[in-house]
């Protein structure tokens, strides 16, 4: 195998996640030193104090990088904030600690085997922090001179740079000239050039030139001309996930696959070699492992094969912290005939720490609904909010939260757009909640297609939450 690359240009695409129903959540809302949840709405989260504190403690352990291979189960009824708290955790982790979200049903729909999908999710959640020395040129630009050939095709140029102690001239090729003009570098700028990648970074402008131009933006940073040598060696640190290293180095795909997300199956030899290499880097002090977090939502949707994979993966040396969420009581484990608490096999349950998320009180429901309305820029009359709260506590928080949107649509037909009790009542009548829908089904049972006239090989159909 060739040298292993760890740099890709696709870092920005990672973590592109549109989860609109949790868009109001910006963190766990805890005090940074005591990890005590703030009592008022904080960072979008309300109530559920014990679970938030537990989540914050886990995050603290993740940040210290001390634990790996642990599993946590968030267990509670539907819409009690399990996913919301996980989103809060994701928001408060540092940018170089990986956080991966996997919804269990995704595993059955990807065009790869279940174990491959799980392996990728695990490896996405483990970061490798790599230290590298690069050579840079840093100083004040004295002059940029670009010569064009008559046709304007090829370009060549010279770059003069200085520090307080020296001055030197370099030849520039077409590519270098292009990156200089892209960064709009002019004489008097203080810049840093990465010699291996050719990356140009504008650090600011020299004080000496502060008065030459008055057309500078207000955010221009003025700096002293650097001292000492122009060429320096500098240590740079970057963090990539094991999965990114896998993809970049699996020769058939290359890093472009990271853009499309279509990474396919990765051969196990590639992974073995990468594990060995990363192990060597760790021994040489060139790399550190950063165990991140893998959040598996709706874990009860996984089957016994997946559970045994997770069990084994948690024992491996390279393992993230796995947080799972389940809204099931004692239920059948998929792929078996056994029943078990939360739909998880006993041996996996045995190694998890359980964080319960109990249901909300009425004032908490009111506060959450009010935040959701603000987030969607919906004006609710106070009476409309009370009615929604009543609906929320009698049916479900999620249902009430959806009624905000539909009631707002009804209200938007009028010149005065504030949502009234009437709008809420109308959408309550238009859209059934589970309770009324079940009753409706019971009444009109015989007109629907049911199990009695539709069975597949005697197996029951997939259960949905
Ligand atoms: N404690 C909370 N504070 C603010 N919003 C919450 C809270 N708990 C739940 N929500 C919101 O209520 C809705 C349902 O919660 P969710 O986290 O999806 O429930 P679960 O995953 O437990 O089924 C989401 O829009 C979520 O953002
Ligand atoms: Mg959820």
* Domain presence at residue 440: no
Give domain status of residue 265, yes or no: no
In a domain, 311, yes or no: yes
Residue of the nearest CA to atom 7 in ligand 1?
Answer: 81
Q: pTM score > 0.85 for this model?
A: no
C-alpha separations of 233 from 162, 193, 282, 381 in Å: 17, 11, 22, 63
SS (HEC) of 404-439:
HHHHHHHHCCCCCCCECHHHHHHHHHHCCCHHHHHH
Listed residue (273, 348, 454) closest to 73, CA to CA: 348
Going from the Cα of 296 to the center of ligand 2, the distance in angstroms, rounded, reads: 10
Q: Ligand 2: distance of its center to the CA of 299 in Å?
A: 10
Which of 24, 25, 30, 79 best tests ligand 1's pocket when mutated (most atoms within 8 Å of CB)?
A: 79
pLDDT digits (tens, 9 = 90+) for 24-77: 888 999 998 888 998 888 899 999 999 999 999 988 888 887 676 789 999 999
- Identify the domain boundary among 332, 356, 380: 356
Q: Longest C-alpha distance within the chain, in Å?
A: 91
Instruction: Please report which confidence band the pLDDT of residue 281 belongs to, taking 50, 70 and 90 as the band edges.
Output: very high
Token code pair at residue 418: 């504030």
* Domain membership flag for residue 282: no
Residues 25, 23: Cα–Cα separation, whole Å: 6
Q: Is residue 145 domain-shared with residue 230, that is, in the same domain?
A: yes
Q: How far apart are CA 329 and CA 83, in angstroms?
A: 17
Q: What tokens does 331 get? A: 């239920």
Q: Which stretches within 196-261 are classed as H helix?
A: 242-249, 256-260
pLDDT at residue 12 in the model: 41
Return the exposure string of 121-152: e unless at least 16 CB atoms fall within 10 Å of the residue's CB, then b. Answer: bbbbbbbbbbeeeeebbbbbbeebeeeeeeee
On whether the CB atoms of residues 322 and 72 are closer than 8 A, the answer is: yes
Verify whether ligand 1 is closer than 6 Å to residue 47 (CB atom). Answer: yes
- Among 356, 376, 393, the domain-final residue is 356
Higher per-residue confidence, 462 vs 113: 113
| Cα(100) to centroid(ligand 1), Å | 19
The pLDDT tens digits of the residues spanning 112-152 come to 889 999 999 999 999 999 888 888 899 999 999 888 776 66
Mean pLDDT, residues 298-306: 92
In angstroms, what is the span from residue 84 Cα to ligand 1's centroid? 5
d(CA 141, CA 225): 10
Which CATH number fits the domain that encloses residue 372?
A: 1.10.8.60
Are 116 and 192 within one domain?
no
In the chain, how many domains are there? 3
78 lines ligand 1 (CB under 6 A): yes
Residue 445, in any domain of the structure: no
Specify whether 148 is located in the same domain as 230. Answer: yes
Cβ-based burial of 1 (10 A; exposed 0-12, middle 13-18, buried ≥19): exposed
- In the reported structure, the alpha carbon of residue 7 is separated from the centroid of ligand 2 by a whole-number distance in angstroms of 34
Residue 67: which residues within 8 A CB-CB, separation 6 or more? 61, 291, 321
Task: For residue 293, count other CB atoms closer than 10 A to its CB.
Answer: 22
Residues 211 and 186 occupy one common structural domain: yes
Range of the domain at 392: 362-431
Same domain, 352 and 374: no
Same domain for 136 and 228, yes or no, is yes
Token representation of residue 153: 């095709």
370 pocket-lining for ligand 1 (C-beta < 6 Å): no
Q: Are residues 321 and 368 in the same domain?
A: no
Nearest CA to ligand 1 atom 17: 81
Whichever domain contains 217, its CATH number is 2.40.50.360
Q: Which of 111-120, 139-148, 155-164, 353-362 has the highest mean pLDDT?
A: 353-362
Q: Is 55 in the pocket of ligand 1 (CB under 6 A)?
A: no
Q: Is residue 223 part of a domain?
A: yes
Based on the domain organization, do 145 and 225 belong to the same domain? yes
Is there a domain that residue 348 lies in? yes
pLDDT of res. 18: 42
Could you give phi then psi for residue 240, rounded to 5 degrees? Answer: -130, 160
Of 314, 334, 356, the one marking the end of a domain is: 356
């Amino acid at each position: 195998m060739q040298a292993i690359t760890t740099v890709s240009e696709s870092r920005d695409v990672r973590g592109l996640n549109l989860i609109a129903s949790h868009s109001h959540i910006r963190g766990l809302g805890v005090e940074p030193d005591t990890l005590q949840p703030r009592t008022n709405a904080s960072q979008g989260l309300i109530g559920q104090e014990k679970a938030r504190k537990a989540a914050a403690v886990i995050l603290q352990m993740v940040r210290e990088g001390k634990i790996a291979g642990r599993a946590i189960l968030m267990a509670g009824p539907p819409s009690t904030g399990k996913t919301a708290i996980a989103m809060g955790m994701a928001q408060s982790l540092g940018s170089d600690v990986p956080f991966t979200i996997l919804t269990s049903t995704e595993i059955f729909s990807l065009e790869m085997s279940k174990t491959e999908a799980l392996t990728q999710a695990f490896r996405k959640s483990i970061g490798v922090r790599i230290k590298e020395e690069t050579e840079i040129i840093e100083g004040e630009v004295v002059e940029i001179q670009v010569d064009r050939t008559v046709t304007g095709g090829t370009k060549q140029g010279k770059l003069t740079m200085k520090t307080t102690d020296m001055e030197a001239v370099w030849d520039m090729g077409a590519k270098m000239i292009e990156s200089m003009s892209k960064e709009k570098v002019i004489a008097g700028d203080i810049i840093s050039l990465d010699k291996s990648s050719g990356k140009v970074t504008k650090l600011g402008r020299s004080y000496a030139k502060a008065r030459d131009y008055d057309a500078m933006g207000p955010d221009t940073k003025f700096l002293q001309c650097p001292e000492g040598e122009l060429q320096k060696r500098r240590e740079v640190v970057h963090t990539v996930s094991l999965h990114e290293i896998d993809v970049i180095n699996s020769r058939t795909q290359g890093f472009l696959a990271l853009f499309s997300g279509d990474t396919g199956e990765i051969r196990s030899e590639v992974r073995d070699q990468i594990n060995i290499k990363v192990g060597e880097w760790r021994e040489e002090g060139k790399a550190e492992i950063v165990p991140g977090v893998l959040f598996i939502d709706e874990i009860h949707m996984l089957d016994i094969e997946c559970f045994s994979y997770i069990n084994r993966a948690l024992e491996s040396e390279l393992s993230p912290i796995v947080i799972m969420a389940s809204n099931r009581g004692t239920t059948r484990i998929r792929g078996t005939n056994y029943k078990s608490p939360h739909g998880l096999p006993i041996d996996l349950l045995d190694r998890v720490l359980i964080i319960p998320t109990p249901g909300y009180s009425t004032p908490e429901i009111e506060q959450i609904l009010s935040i959701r309305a603000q987030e969607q820029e919906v004006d609710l009359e106070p009476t409309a909010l009370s009615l929604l709260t009543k609906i929320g506590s009698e049916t479900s928080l999620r249902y009430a939260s959806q009624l905000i949107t539909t009631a707002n649509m009804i209200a938007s037909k009028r010149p005065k757009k504030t949502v009234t009790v009437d709008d809420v009542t109308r959408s309550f009548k238009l859209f059934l909640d589970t309770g009324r829908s079940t009753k409706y089904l019971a009444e009109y049972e015989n007109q629907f297609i049911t199990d009695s006239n539709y069975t597949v090989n005697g197996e029951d159909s997939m259960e949905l939450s």
